[in-house]
Structure 1
């Protein structure tokens, strides 16, 4: 009798880390419905979470909480008997079990249902229909589809979003805390500190925040340092092999756990799992259909198979604005890649993936100058991981380097898809070295590479590239690449401050581009001509600026509009219309922020400083120059290599030093240099120097400056949730969550999430004290 009232929940032998949100949601779901299924990938901690939810609900189930581990059952024939034995029912048939549970307020925990989804669903449905006081909590890779079932997705543990965080900030994340706890169990004095924090964070991120993988890795600190574990992690399936002796066989090694999941899939599902591993950073359905269909998988079946893998928690569905993407944890993807390689089909699949990426790059280049410019930019940023993976394949696989040249050269129109101009240059440099054959594709890659190194301010490196490009273009009589040479050579002259030569070359390039009908290329040349005219105060400046702005707006190409506004703002400055110049430059900066164009942002902030100096707002201009200095350095570009801008910069600096005392100038410059990107944006757009770089009044209420939604998000940040988890909790897009967090940091003048957490914790304590004092 005592057993029937208490239940049979096992004692926890190790500490329970994190999962506050999931525990709360699970308890709430069981309070409002009679069946809850926890679903998630193997090793994510569904069983521990189920046991913790059950343990915390002891007052809700007076007749006991019963756990039934179904993993040993090979098939469903013994399911009812196993459950009856676990709850103490003397007879083992369904009617007797239902009768036994009929008047008992009990919780039945059915653990590991994934290999018996049909029998488990049938039994749960029957028992819930015949025992009105019963609640069922199940764990499975997929939902059981029982009437009235609530499903709670169990995500991996939270991991730090960046490796450069402090130990204090890192330990606010569940994965890091779990690693520290389990490592300390084998090395008693182990702690996460500033010396090992970066390695621990990278390790937890590499392991996707999967609790089982983290626990297996933590055991290794007995013989390896965290850094050594990281180095061996490329072979993670051999490294992570020492689970507790009391654990089920499949949980003693990471490979055994994934083998279990793989074996539960159908043959078609296994093939798709393997093929999806060629994607990096996920994919949309169209991409999965294009790359993964054929050879045993019909294109029209891909959607259904993807849905089935989502149901089994192998693939995760992520909504990105209006689109849906599918992705796998790195651990699952690596397992799929290993299986794909063993099948001998990996090279063929990677070629198909390469072809898909090449088609994407070619289409983006063809359509970049138009109303979908920002859409293409967002798309390529989103597919950055896939493009990189395709390029890496081309450069590693013999005979494929020419395709890498095509892809990387086509990306000239969306250089923001790279992390910086330097990244694009490095890809082209590697591809040019591996594909030395003379051809038109090489010629194009050479002028694109020259353009990218010029954006870095490295005019010396551009010269040899342009010389080889011209020789190839003339040899093949390729008018498009001859136009490219003329264009980039003119841009090089512009950057060198050789304005007369730049004008001649750019005018020739403009005529060539227009003759070829390359309107996007032609607009870029037109903009650079307008820039040259403005910077030299040429009489044609206004006409060229207005034409560039009108053309970009006519094409509805917003990114291009941002650059045309930059030139037009400087033309207004040249003509003495300072107020209009400021307004236009800020409009340009708003567009650049939308597309995350840091190079354009640096250029805009720099020019805004010149305009403010002209308006005798010297201290603000000095602070803006400092902010521009920070931005130039952040993207690896130096004004010393951009002579067309360096001259105006030097004149502005001389003006400011003339009108400000040295100490005042240096203090303002240093304030600007110390701003974060968000603070630079706020300062540049709002023109409120009295608030930029300064905090709230000490002791002021942080909640008072936030909106209701921002206060809600600040509380979730304080609880340790990542942007992705905040988005899922509030059912908003991840980008929206990111914007809110950025606004919170800016409004509170904080630079890290840990500051929000500390501030919010203090606010909660103060609120609690005020509440207690008010009740006395």
Structure 2
């Protein structure tokens, strides 16, 4: 997904699901704090509205941060070691770098006033403190707005305690309850006759927003006076003026508990089982993970609909993209219930097995017509994949961790999560013995996501690891040109031809074997282009395109388009090159390969310059600079050192003059990703969706 852009401002803030009610005093105070303080932490008990207040303030103060406002949701993060990865992913930094990731994040966020919103920090508090301290020290114009039940404890932190809503009949608690009640029951109106009853409900719930929202939904089945009676019967035993914080905690738990009591037994059981998911889930995942005993798989869709009606579960998206999720507090209640039922281990293993199966299916189908769907599906399931990986790595069977981390090689390598993949693969390899096909797959996957073309030794190790993997799987051993390609990118074209060796069709079979067969053709084209053998390069690239077309594959097909276009440029046919380079750009975007998008954009600079459009070429040079910066691995090395950027930057500057050239490059660099893509494809950048 591209960063959202509204009024020229970049970020990833989601649209607010419903109207924000009240908190005007807090919003005014936050407005001043975000101007004057670099770290502001909203503290308070669960359900008090910290996250919603932070989101509203971030929306309201976007104008202060032209370099971006980025939300990092941490509630689904189980492993604190992945916090920096979460920040990188939220801010659209593709993890294709071998330098320390936090260093890359600091560089990525530099360059202007920027706001980072870290939501739900309490369960990764120590790592949050460390990362925030490092970011603030190295990014001078960065501001951080955090939400947490506890302070981060970082020097310079300004704390703002978020209290429950005021309880008077004309105050925010009543207004919030009335707004949510009207959404649940359209006929509901706040009147002089029912205002006192609403205020009494709000008082019973201590003005805690989440409790108010859960209670408001109950009006679908209860009149107001019955709702108040039900609350009275449950709260009499809990109120203790001497312990106000405990009361608030008990209040929320009791509100959730009452929602639990109003569910049917099957709904309660499904609620408990759904708590193993992180982030969200689709119907297929729920059916596999949560069926069993009294819950039939065929009943789960109807039960999900019922839990959605009761506001226990929220539904997002339409059609095939429908997903469900639970608020963190509601999920925690379900997890406690699951443990009490004695089912936690069973359901967690079922969750693990479902995502192992998902990863294997994705590997088998990656080089096919469903590639874009798999890229989107696995990106959506990223949090659940992490949970499954942690479950595998904690199990007594080391092979399961090897299998899952290795099977996801295409996700780590092609979808921009190489740094995270390296970490999981290293952990899995440390636990296992050096034998077996799962170990070979993990070794190969680790070397694949670690390789940088300038590193000759690493390139050779990838080839060696794949030979080992092919032998383990009983496949023909291929001769692969990674060594030759590595030399070519370093400018040693003549030597690359000697080391390239004979061509190979590669092994048959699915998954990594087919990938390597296509990779061999792509690297052969790469080496030939480096030698200036453009006719031969085009022939190999056309074969690559044809082989990919048979499979309906996009990711590697785009590299075929890239090398066909590069060959046309080399043969002085830039008009013919334009179609292929645009096809490559569009395909790389559709499968979320931002590093590939950046590489293709560089070729588009050359294409448009050769076609006689230096103005567009200069703007695209700026676009490419931003894309490489976002990718974290500049042009498979350093962007200023590439032939494309160095030579065409010099030529375009000479053609346009320093002032015009600099202005056009800055214009391109200022565009967000979606607007930049539209510019590159010859469309109006202003049509990019907000």
For the criterion TM > 0.5, the same-fold answer is yes
8 A contact 1:406–1:441 mirrored in 2: yes
Match of 1:560, SS state, is helix
In structure 2, the partner of 1:439 is 436
Structure 1 residue aligned with 2:451: 454
Aligned residue for 1:512, secondary structure, equals coil
- Measure, in 2, the Cα distance between the counterparts of 1:564 and 1:426: 31
Using the TM superposition, give the Cα deviation of residue 339 of structure 1 relative to its aligned residue in structure 2, in angstroms: 2.5
Structure 2 equivalent of residue 96 of structure 1: none
2:678 alignment partner, SS class: helix
CA deviation after TM superposition for structure 1 residue 502, in Å: 5.4
Cα distance between partner residues in 2 of 1:411 and 1:486: 22
The answer as to whether partners of 1:170 and 1:201 remain within 8 angstroms in 2 is no
TM-score (norm 1): 0.57
Give the Å deviation of 1:299: 3.1
Provide the C-alpha distance between the structure 2 equivalents of 1:296 and 1:269, rounded to a whole number of angstroms: 11
Question: Alpha carbons of 1:460 and 1:331: their partners in 2 closer, same or farther (altered >3 Å)?
Answer: farther
The one-character-per-residue Cα deviations of 1:414-467 (angstroms, maximum 9, x if unpaired) are 447745433333332333334454433222222222222336x67378369649
Shift in CA distance, 533/389, structure 1 to aligned 2, threshold 3 Å: same
- Flag the 1:590–1:664 CA change in 2: closer, same or farther, 3 A: same
Q: Indicate which of 368, 373, 376 corresponds to 1:375.
A: 373
Cα separation, 1, equivalents of 2:665 and 2:46: 39
Question: Match of 1:774?
Answer: none
**Mapped contact 1:377–1:416 kept (Cα < 8 A):** no
For the residues of structure 2 that align with 1:379 and 1:169, how far apart are their CA atoms? Answer: 19
1:307 Cα deviation from its structure 2 partner = 3.4
Instruction: Using the TM superposition, name which of 416-425 and 668-677 deviates more.
Output: 416-425
Q: How far, CA to CA, are the matches of 1:588 and 1:189 in structure 2? A: 45
1:573 is displaced (CA, Å) by 1.0
The match for 1:513 is 507
Q: Paired residue for 1:274?
A: 272
CA RMSD across the alignment: 4.7
1:262, distance to aligned residue in structure 2 (A): 1.6
Distance 2:44 2:561 in 1: 42
Q: Secondary structure at the match of 2:629?
A: helix
- The answer on 1:525 being equivalent to 2:520 is yes
1-structure distance, mates of 2:433, 2:330? 38
From 557, 562, 586, the equivalent of 1:566 is 562
CA distance in 2, matches of 1:513, 1:644: 38
1:361 — aligned with what? 359
CA 1:652–1:210 in 2, change beyond 3 Å: closer, same or farther? Answer: closer
1:605 aligns with 2:601: yes
Q: Tell me the residue number matched to 1:403.
A: 400
Matched-pair contact (CA < 8 Å) for 2:418–2:450: yes
Higher-RCO chain (CA-CA 8 Å, sequence separation at least 6): 2
Partner of 1:93: none
User: Per-residue deviation at 1:544?
Assistant: 0.6
Change (3 A) 1:477 1:391: closer
Report the counterpart of residue 427 of structure 2 in structure 1: 430
Whether the aligned pair in 2 keeps the contact of 1:495 and 1:643 (CA below 8 Å) is no
Partner of residue 547 from structure 2, selected from 548, 551, 573: 551
Residue 404 of structure 1 aligns to a residue whose secondary structure is helix
Q: 2:350 aligns with which of 349, 352, 361?
A: 352
- Counterparts of 2:670 and 2:282, CA distance in 1: 40
Q: What are the residue-to-residue correspondences of 1:474-553 with 2, within 5 Å?
A: 483=478, 486=480, 489=483, 492-499=486-493, 510-514=504-508, 518-538=513-533, 539-553=535-549
Aligned residue among 306, 309, 320 for 1:308: 306
Query: Which sections of structure 2, spanning at least 5 residues, go unmatched?
Result: 57-118, 123-143, 153-160, 168-201, 206-230, 236-247
Give distance in 1, aligned partners of 2:335 and 2:550: 47
CA contact (8 A) 2:454 2:486 kept: no
Mapped to 2, the partners of 1:365 and 1:514 lie a distance apart of 15
Question: 1:199-235, CA deviations, whole angstroms, 9 ceiling, x for partnerless residues?
Answer: 4599999969679x99xx99x9xxxx985844479xx
Counterpart of 1:246 in structure 2 is 203
Maintained 8 Å contact 2:42/2:162: no
Q: Matched residue of 2:307: which SS?
A: helix
How far apart are the structure 2 equivalents of 1:161 and 1:632?
A: 19
Q: SS of the residue aligned with 1:322?
A: helix
Aligned equivalents of 2:653 and 2:145: distance in 1? 51
Does residue 634 (structure 1) correspond to residue 634 (structure 2)? The answer is no
Give the 3-state SS of the residue equivalent to 2:368 in structure 1. coil
Alignment of 1:277-296 (within 5 A): 277-296=275-294
Contact 2:392 2:400 in 1 (8 A): yes
Relative to structure 1, the CA distance from residue 210 to residue 683 in structure 2 (aligned partners, 3 Å threshold; closer, same or farther) is closer
Indicate conservation of the 8 Å contact 2:414/2:593, yes or no: no
| DSSP 3-state at the match of 1:317 | strand
Residue 613 of structure 2 aligns with which residue? 617
TM-score, normalised via structure 2 length? 0.63
Deviation at 1:563, TM superposition (A): 2.4
Query: Which stretch has the larger CA shift, 515-524 or 599-608?
Result: 515-524
| Distance apart, 1:348 and its partner CA | 2.6
- Equivalent-residue separation in structure 2 for 1:414 and 1:170 (angstroms): 25
Which residue pairs with 2:688 in the alignment?
743
The Cα shift of 1:353 comes to 0.9
Deviations 1:379-436 (A, max 9, x none): 22222222122123333x2435542332232223344774543333333233333445
Equivalent pairs, count: 514
- Equivalents in 1 of 2:683, 2:42: separation in Å? 41
Q: Does the aligned pair in 2 maintain the 1:176–1:204 contact within 8 Å?
A: no
Residue-by-residue CA offset, 1:299-355 (whole Å, 9 max, x unaligned): 344334333323332223334443433322232222212332344432332221111
Structure 2: distance between partners of 1:477 and 1:681: 42
Q: Structure 2 CA distance, aligned partners of 1:644 and 1:442?
A: 39
Contact 1:315-1:328 within 8 A present in 2 as well: yes
Contact 1:314-1:332 within 8 A present in 2 as well: yes
Distance 1:320 1:391, change over 3 A: farther
User: What's the CA shift for 1:581?
Assistant: 0.9
* 1:193 counterpart residue number: 34
Task: Tell me by how many angstroms 1:274 deviates.
Answer: 1.2
Summarize the alignment of residues 164-179 of structure 1 with structure 2, pairs less than 5 Å apart.
none
Return closer, same or farther for 1:416/1:254 CA change in 2, 3 Å cut-off: farther
Q: CA deviation at 1:630?
A: 0.8
Give the Cα–Cα distance (whole angstroms) in 2 for the partners of residues 305 and 423 of structure 1: 35
Query: Alpha-carbon deviations, 1:88-121, whole Å to 9, x = none?
Result: xxxxxxxxxxxxxxxxxxxxxxxxxxxxxxxxxx
Inter-CA distance 200–487: structure 2 relative to 1 (3 Å threshold): farther
Q: Displacement of 1:241 after TM fit?
A: 10
Following the alignment from structure 2 to structure 1, what is the Cα–Cα distance between the partners of residues 253 and 349?
27
In structure 2, C-alpha distance between the alignment counterparts of 1:645 and 1:416, rounded to whole Å: 24
| Distance in 2 separating the partners of 1:448 and 1:205 | 42
**Secondary structure, aligned partner of 2:287:** helix
Which deviations, in whole Å up to 9, do the C-alpha atoms of 1:736-770 show, x marking residues without a partner? xxxxxx7355xxxxxxxxxxxxxxxxxxxxxxxxx
8 A contact 1:494–1:644 mirrored in 2: no
CA change 1:465–1:574 in 2 (3 A) is closer
**Does the CA contact (< 8 Å) of 2:545 and 2:557 recur in 1?**
yes
Assess if the C-alpha contact under 8 Å between 1:381 and 1:417 holds in 2. Answer: no
| SS state at 2:507 partner | helix
Give 1:273 shift.
Answer: 0.8
Distance 1:204 1:246, change over 3 A: closer
Deviations 1:98-146 (A, max 9, x none): xxxxxxxxxxxxxxxxxxxxxxxxxxxxxxxxxxxxxxxxxxxxxxxxx
CA distance in 2, matches of 1:515, 1:588: 26
CA-to-partner distance for each residue in 1:151-199, whole Å, 9 max, x for gaps? xxxxxxxxx999xx99x999996999658447589xx999663437874
